[in-house]
Amino acid sequence: MVTPDKNTRIGWIGTGVMGQWMCRHLLNAGFETSVFNRTKAKSQALIGEGAHWRESPEAVAKASDIIFTIVGFPEDVEAVYLGERGVLAGANPGAIVVDMTTTAPSLAQTIAIAAQKKGIVALDAPVSGGDVGAKNATLSIMLGGDEETALAITPLLKIMGKKVTYQGAAGSGQHTKMCNQIVIAGTMIGMCESLIYGHKAGLDLHVMLKSISGGAAACWSLDNLAPRILNNELSTGFFVEHFVKDMGIALAEARQMQLALPGLALANQLYQSVIAHGGARLGTQSLMLALRHLNHMA
Amino acid sequence: MVTPDKNTRIGWIGTGVMGQWMCRHLLNAGFETSVFNRTKAKSQALIGEGAHWRESPEAVAKASDIIFTIVGFPEDVEAVYLGERGVLAGANPGAIVVDMTTTAPSLAQTIAIAAQKKGIVALDAPVSGGDVGAKNATLSIMLGGDEETALAITPLLKIMGKKVTYQGAAGSGQHTKMCNQIVIAGTMIGMCESLIYGHKAGLDLHVMLKSISGGAAACWSLDNLAPRILNNELSTGFFVEHFVKDMGIALAEARQMQLALPGLALANQLYQSVIAHGGARLGTQSLMLALRHLNHMA
């Protein structure tokens, strides 16, 4: 296994809103870094800062000791790792690959097994904290896979995040991220239903929020997203289509485990309604749209 | 209208877990105080500290300038105010009555109208913060009713609470409390479903919570009640039967306003299941019991 040191060659696949910042932190820390992104333009800034452009995930893997990926949907992760010119086709024995995309725990397990057959260790390391956390290197990183390898790369992950927590075998990082999203699904419903009730009851919602913040109703969504709703700012933040992807993964995993999660299922349905109303690329606070339409208030 | 000063005579009805502490703070501030409680034993400590026992809500009201009430269910509030030997039968013209029970906004409006006919001002002022908030005088108090009166008694309320916020016409304090409970209903579902998912996925829940706390999933329920669940401590905290009362009020008000709140309705149903399993007087974190039974994990 590779033990990361200052000569470790980094590979980075996926230089979108999150990945670009995370990769930049490693680049700024002095690591030689190879990059690939489906849309090359989104890597241009990093290339200007010294990253080496490679033509495929395979090429990135060939040139690197530790390869990080953060792409979009589970099918993207599958293509990047298991595809013809994918990471596992190029990675050298002894390499470490780390998927930071939020994806299916079962896919993380599949990749870990496929990697192991080639003498490669695959970890899952999804993050929470959004683009702000990526930029400020304050992400919470949830690690699954071989423990020794996970501990070995933790110093690298600490360059990108504030909190790095080992959660267990392959897929455990993803399962932990699902736990995170399941809580959020509940807080979003509670927060939005509270606002629509207060509005209908004729309250001044700004004043109402003063009364209920900081107590037993306190939550991140109430502090950060309720003000955006009052400000009619529905387009910023975490995309609905990504949250729906995450809830879909959690519900599919729950189904496989024969686990009924009625609250998550309801949140998923309400967000499907947001998508039906054209809100796929709005922020998650646009759950409010579904409740407004449901109540003929749109 | 009475303007509160150091000679204002206080009446207090309802000396249970919350009321006892709230009344004590006024007593300690030097006010002459009359008390009544359905079970006299629960007033004994306050009587020992100098409060005058009265034989009925009517008798308390006769002896007082400002009368506070904090009892159990809406039917108790109705009896205490509108009953034969109730507050409105005894209160002198110019008196102020303040109901701090969590009760129906429509009942608060009914009481305000009945009071007005007798030259009395009735305010609704439910609280959040629980028994700890009552003891430490850190409650959040949500005020509804005549604004001038509300402002006049705010200094008295500040003796019992940290945050006193005027919310609007009669019933607005209660509506605000409903907003608070609606958010909590959502956070409770999210928190409990997250724990049951994590458990089923084989995670160490203590370690999982480390990863997800402090980020976008952060909420009071996760910080304060998830640890109790992991500790198998289901009996402490806010009673399920009281939370179900609150959700019932919110759902009834919503129905009157023709407002569909599917998340709140689901939470209410799951808590009905907790009651079916004998959990009426457990803490709200025992929502976990409903999810366990639902998933044949009990």
Q: What is the pLDDT of residues B96-148, one digit of tens each?
A: 999 999 999 999 999 999 999 999 999 999 999 988 999 999 999 999 999 99
Contact B128 A215 (CB under 8 A): yes
Tell me the nearest-neighbour CA distance from B281 into chain A, angstroms.
19
Query: Same domain for A129 and A60?
Result: yes
Q: What is the mean pLDDT of residues B239-254?
A: 97
Residue B142 in domain: yes
Nearest Cα neighbor of A196 from A148, A241, A230, A156 is A230
Q: Is the model's pLDDT at B149 over the cut of 90?
A: yes
Give the per-residue pLDDT at A2: 66
Nearest Cα neighbor of A135 from A269, A250, A252, A19 is A19
- Last residue of a domain, which of A169, A190, A224? A169
* B57 inside 8 A of chain A by CB: no
Predicted model pTM: 0.96
How does residue A4 score in pLDDT terms, banded at 50, 70 and 90?
confident
* A127 inside 8 A of chain B by CB: no
Chain A residues near residue B163 by CB distance under 8 angstroms: 210-211, 214
Interface of B with A in 169-208 (CB under 8 A): 169, 171-172, 175-176, 178-191, 193-198, 200-204, 207-208
Q: Is the model's pLDDT at B198 over the cut of 90?
A: yes
Q: Across the interface, which of B130, B186, B250 has its CB nearest the CB of A187?
A: B186
Give me the amino acid identity at B223: D
Query: Same domain for B138 and B239?
Result: no
* A125 inside 8 A of chain B by CB: no
CA of residue B232 relative to chain centroid, distance: 26
How does residue B1 score in pLDDT terms, banded at 50, 70 and 90?
low
Higher pLDDT, B1 or B50: B50
The nearest alpha carbon in chain A to B192 belongs to: A183
Contact B186 A184 (CB under 8 A): no
Helix (H) or strand (E) holding B128: strand B127-128
Number of Cβ atoms within 10 Å of the Cβ of A17: 13
Q: What is the mean pLDDT of residues A110-132?
A: 96
Q: Is A245 a catalytic site residue?
A: no
How far separated are the first and last CA of chain B, in Å rounded? 57
Interface of B with A in 105-124 (CB under 8 A): 105
Residue A1 in domain: no
Chain B residues near residue A247 by CB distance under 8 angstroms: none
Chain B residues near residue A220 by CB distance under 8 angstroms: 215-219
Q: What is the mean pLDDT of residues B41-49?
A: 98
Give the count of Cβ contacts less than 8 A between chain A and B. Answer: 265
* A236 inside 8 A of chain B by CB: no
Contact A194 B179 (CB under 8 A): yes
Q: Are B191 and B185 in contact (CB under 8 A)?
A: no
**For residues A124-144, b (16+ Cβ closer than 10 Å) or e, as one string?**
bbbbbbbeebbbebbbbbbbb
Query: What range defines the domain where residue A266 resides?
Result: 175-294
The nearest alpha carbon in chain B to A138 belongs to: B215
- Last residue of a domain, which of A169, A193, A212? A169
Beta bridge partners of A168: A144
A180: domain CATH number is 1.10.1040.10
The nearest alpha carbon in chain A to B219 belongs to: A219
Give the per-residue pLDDT at A208: 98
Q: What is the mean pLDDT of residues B151-156?
A: 97
How does residue B298 score in pLDDT terms, banded at 50, 70 and 90?
confident
Interface of A with B in 250-289 (CB under 8 A): 250, 253-254, 257-264, 266-267, 270
* 3-state SS class at B93: coil
Q: How far is CA B284 from CA A4, B109, B136, B181, B288, in A?
A: 47, 29, 22, 12, 9
- Kindly report the backbone phi and psi dihedral angles of residue B204, in degrees, each rounded to the nearest multiple of 5, phi listed first: -80, 110
Q: Are A67 and A51 in contact (CB under 8 A)?
A: no
Q: What is the mean pLDDT of residues B171-191?
A: 98
Q: What is the mean pLDDT of residues B156-169?
A: 98
Query: Same domain for B156 and B194?
Result: no
Q: Are strands A139-144 and A161-168 parallel, antiparallel or unpaired?
A: parallel
Residue B2 in domain: no
Query: Same domain for A153 and A185?
Result: no
Residue B232 in domain: yes
Give the per-residue pLDDT at B113: 98
Give the per-residue pLDDT at B35: 98
Give me the amino acid identity at B94: G
Residue B5 in domain: no
What does the DSSP 8-state code read for residue B170? T
Contact B203 A263 (CB under 8 A): no
* B211 inside 8 A of chain A by CB: yes
Residue B1 in domain: no
Query: Same domain for B183 and B110?
Result: no
Tell me what the pLDDT averaged over chain B comes to.
97
d(CA A281, CA A169): 33
Contact A219 B266 (CB under 8 A): no
Residue A5 in domain: no
E-strand stretches of chain A: 10-13, 33-36, 52-53, 66-69, 96-99, 121-124, 127-128, 139-144, 161-168
Query: Same domain for A103 and A29?
Result: yes
d(CA B166, CA B125): 9
User: By mean pLDDT, which of A4-8, A255-259, B1-5 is the weakest?
Assistant: B1-5
What does the DSSP 8-state code read for residue A239? B
How does residue B2 score in pLDDT terms, banded at 50, 70 and 90?
low
The nearest alpha carbon in chain B to A201 belongs to: B175
d(CA B14, CA B87): 12
Give the per-residue pLDDT at B4: 85
Q: Is A76 exposed, middle or buried (0-12, 13-18, 19+ CB in 10 A)?
A: middle
Give me the amino acid identity at A278: G
Residue A66 in domain: yes
Query: Same domain for B164 and B182?
Result: no
Q: Which residue has the tokens 């949250």?
A: A243
Q: Across the interface, which of B163, B217, B295 has its CB nearest the CB of A183?
A: B217
B106: domain CATH number is 3.40.50.720
What's the pLDDT tens digit per position in A202-253? 999 999 999 999 899 999 999 999 999 999 999 988 999 999 999 999 999 9
- Last residue of a domain, which of B136, B154, B169? B169
Contact B142 A211 (CB under 8 A): yes
The nearest alpha carbon in chain A to B251 belongs to: A197
Give the per-residue pLDDT at B193: 98
Query: Same domain for A27 and A143?
Result: yes
Tell me what the pLDDT averaged over chain A comes to.
97
Structurally, chain B folds into a number of domains equal to 2
Query: Same domain for A194 and A247?
Result: yes
What does the DSSP 8-state code read for residue A28? H
Q: Across the interface, which of A196, A217, A294 has its CB nearest the CB of B220?
A: A217
What does the DSSP 8-state code read for residue A115? H
Query: Same domain for B183 and B287?
Result: yes
Query: Same domain for A82 and A221?
Result: no
Q: What is the mean pLDDT of residues B228-238?
A: 95
- Tokens representing A147? 């423990």
* A225 inside 8 A of chain B by CB: no
Q: Is the model's pLDDT at A95 over the cut of 70?
A: yes
Query: Same domain for B146 and B185?
Result: no
Nearest Cα neighbor of A116 from A96, A86, A90 is A96
d(CA A69, CA A23): 10
Catalytic residue, candidates A177, A200, A210, A245? A177
Q: How far is CA B258 from CA A111, A145, B102, B107, in A?
A: 50, 50, 22, 18
